[in-house]
C-alpha cells in the first residue's frame, strides 16, 4: 500500500486531509530555522569554559608549575587534552575531573577539600583565628595596663604635696644647702 | 610550666611536626638493586583487563617506564620490542608501564610503536614515585624471584641491553 493510499484511508474527507497538510506545513516552517542550529549544536557544542581558565587552575605535574606557565612536552600534551575537552563542551569541573582521572590528583593546583588536603584550608583559618585571639588578648592587656597607669598617676597626683608643704620643703632644703 | 609556655611549646611542636610530615611525603621512594620490585595491579593498556609484574614471577622481567610525550621513549620502543622477541624463548619478558600520561595519547603511541609485550598504565606519577623515578624512560631488570637486578635510569639501546642486562639473564638462566 502506497503512502498516498494509506493517507486516503486514514483521512477519507478531503477537507481533513487539507487541514492536516496545512498543519504539517506550518510545523515544518516553525521547526526549519532551528534545525541547522540543532545540527550544528550536536556537532560542535558551545564551550562552557575556556582553555585559559582551566590552564590557570591546573598543574603540569612533571614541571611542578601551573599549566599556563609550562612549556614542556608533557605540558603541551596536557594542553591539547584540555583544549579537546573544552571544545567538546565540557564544563570546568568536568575537565578537571577528567584531568584527575588521567594525571592523578597532583594535577590540581588547589588541594581538594577532603582528607589530609583539607588541612591546607583549615590551617590558615586556624592560624588567623589564633592570631585574632592573641591580638584581642594583647589589646585588652594593653588597655588594662593603660588604666592602671592612669590610676597610679592619679594616686601620685593625689600624693603630691600641697603648695604650703612644698614651700616649707623648699625652705628646709635650702637651709641645708651647702 | 605556665600556660603561656605550654602553648608556645605546643605551637613549636606543631610546626616541627608539619615540616617533618612535608619532608617525609616529599622524599621520593628509593629502590635499590636487591629490593623487591615495587608492584601493583594496574589497568592494561589498551584495556580491558589488569596486570602486574607479579604475573610474570618466575621469569626475568624488563620493566620499562615510559610516556607518549617522551622523545627518547619513541627511539627506545623498537629496541625493547626486539629485546622481547629475541629473549622471549629464554624465560624473559618486557612489561611496559605508561606513566604521567593520558590514556588517549598512550594508546596512540602504541599504535605508532606496536609492542607485543604487555603494557600497563599508571595514573599520574604514582608508579614513577614508587620506583623513585626521576624521569622517563627508566628501565629495571627484575629477576625471577621478583627482586630488582638492574636499575637503568635512562633509555636503553641494543648495546646497553647486551652488555648490562643479558649477561645476568644468561648467567642465571
Summarised one tens digit per residue, pLDDT across range B116-173 is 999 999 998 889 999 999 899 999 999 999 999 999 999 999 999 999 999 999 886 6
Please give the biggest Cα pair distance in chain A.
146
Q: Do A77 and B123 touch (CB under 8 A)?
A: no
Selected residue of B124, B126, B128, B135 to mutate for chain A interface (largest A Cβ count, 10 A): B124
Q: If you measure CA to CA, which chain B residue comes closest to A119?
A: B18
Selected residue of A58, A62, A76 to mutate for chain B interface (largest B Cβ count, 10 A): A62
Q: Do B100 and A81 touch (CB under 8 A)?
A: no
Mean pLDDT along residues A128-134 = 90
Angstrom distance (rounded) from CA A92 to CA B27: 32
Q: Do B71 and A73 touch (CB under 8 A)?
A: yes
Of the candidates B68, B71, B123, which has its C-beta nearest A104's C-beta?
A: B123
Q: If you measure CA to CA, which chain B residue comes closest to A60?
A: B100
Q: Do B102 and A107 touch (CB under 8 A)?
A: no
Of the candidates B70, B102, B126, which has its C-beta nearest A102's C-beta?
A: B102
What cell does A43 get? 556537532
Angstrom distance (rounded) from CA A111 to CA B131: 24
- Using pLDDT thresholds of 50, 70 and 90, give the confidence band for residue B47: confident
Average model confidence (pLDDT) for chain B? 92
Q: Do A102 and B101 touch (CB under 8 A)?
A: yes
Report CA-CA distances (Å) from B100 to A78, A79, A151.
Answer: 10, 14, 71
Q: Do B124 and A81 touch (CB under 8 A)?
A: no
Name the residue among B146, B116, B140 with its Cα closest to residue B128: B140
- Using pLDDT thresholds of 50, 70 and 90, give the confidence band for residue A147: confident
Taking the model in full, what pTM does it have? 0.65
A123 neighbourhood in chain B, CB within 8 Å: 18
- Per DSSP, chain B holds a count of helices (H) and strands (E) of 6, 7
A101 neighbourhood in chain B, CB within 8 Å: 123
Mean pLDDT along residues B7-11 = 84
d(CA B25, nearest CA chain A) in Å: 12
User: ∠A118-A121-A127 over CA atoms, to 5°?
Assistant: 125
Is the pLDDT at B40 greater than 70, yes or no?
Answer: yes
Mean pLDDT along residues A68-97 = 95
A88 neighbourhood in chain B, CB within 8 Å: none
Name the residue among B42, B62, B51 with its Cα closest to residue B142: B62
- Using pLDDT thresholds of 50, 70 and 90, give the confidence band for residue B23: low
Amino acid at each position: 500500500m502506497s503512502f498516498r493510499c494509506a493517507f486516503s484511508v486514514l483521512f477519507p474527507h478531503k477537507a481533513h486531509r487539507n487541514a492536516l497538510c496545512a498543519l504539517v506545513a506550518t510545523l515544518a516552517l516553525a521547526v526549519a530555522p532551528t534545525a541547522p542550529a540543532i545540527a550544528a549544536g550536536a556537532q560542535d557544542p558551545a564551550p562552557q569554559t575556556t582553555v585559559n581558565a582551566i590552564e590557570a587552575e591546573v598543574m603540569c605535574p612533571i614541571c611542578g608549575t601551573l599549566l599556563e606557565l609550562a612549556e614542556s612536552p608533557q605540558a603541551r600534551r596536557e594542553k591539547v587534552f584540555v583544549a579537546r575537552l573544552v571544545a567538546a563542551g565540557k564544563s570546568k569541573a568536568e575537565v578537571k575531573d577528567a584531568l584527575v582521572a588521567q594525571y592523578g590528583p597532583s594535577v590540581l593546583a588547589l588541594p581538594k577539600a577532603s582528607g589530609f588536603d583539607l588541612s591546607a584550608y583549615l590551617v590558615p583559618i586556624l592560624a588567623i583565628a589564633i592570631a585574632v585571639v592573641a591580638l584581642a588578648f594583647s589589646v585588652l592587656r594593653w588597655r588594662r595596663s593603660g588604666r592602671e597607669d592612669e590610676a597610679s598617676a592619679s594616686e601620685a597626683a593625689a600624693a603630691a604635696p600641697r603648695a604650703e608643704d612644698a614651700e616649707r620643703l623648699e625652705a628646709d632644703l635650702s637651709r641645708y644647702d651647702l | 610550666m605556665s600556660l603561656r609556655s605550654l602553648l608556645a611549646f605546643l605551637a613549636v611542636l606543631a610546626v616541627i611536626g608539619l615540616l617533618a610530615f612535608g619532608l617525609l611525603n616529599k622524599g621520593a621512594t628509593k629502590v635499590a638493586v636487591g629490593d623487591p620490585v615495587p608492584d601493583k595491579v594496574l589497568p592494561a593498556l589498551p584495556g580491558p583487563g589488569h596486570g602486574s609484574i607479579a604475573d610474570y614471577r618466575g621469569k626475568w622481567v624488563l620493566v620499562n617506564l615510559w610516556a607518549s610525550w617522551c622523545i627518547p621513549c619513541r627511539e627506545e620502543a623498537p629496541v625493547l620490542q626486539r629485546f622481547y622477541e629475541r629473549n622471549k624463548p629464554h624465560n624473559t619478558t618486557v612489561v611496559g608501564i605508561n606513566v604521567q600520561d593520558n590514556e588517549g595519547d598512550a594508546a596512540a603511541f602504541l599504535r605508532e610503536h606496536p609492542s607485543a609485550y604487555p603494557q600497563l598504565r599508571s595514573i599520574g606519577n604514582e608508579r614513577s614515585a614508587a620506583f623513585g623515578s626521576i624521569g622517563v624512560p627508566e628501565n629495571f631488570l627484575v629477576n625471577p624471584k621478583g627482586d630488582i637486578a638492574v636499575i637503568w635510569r635512562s633509555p636503553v639501546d641494543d648495546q646497553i641491553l647486551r652488555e648490562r642486562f643479558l649477561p645476568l639473564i644468561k648467567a642465571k638462566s
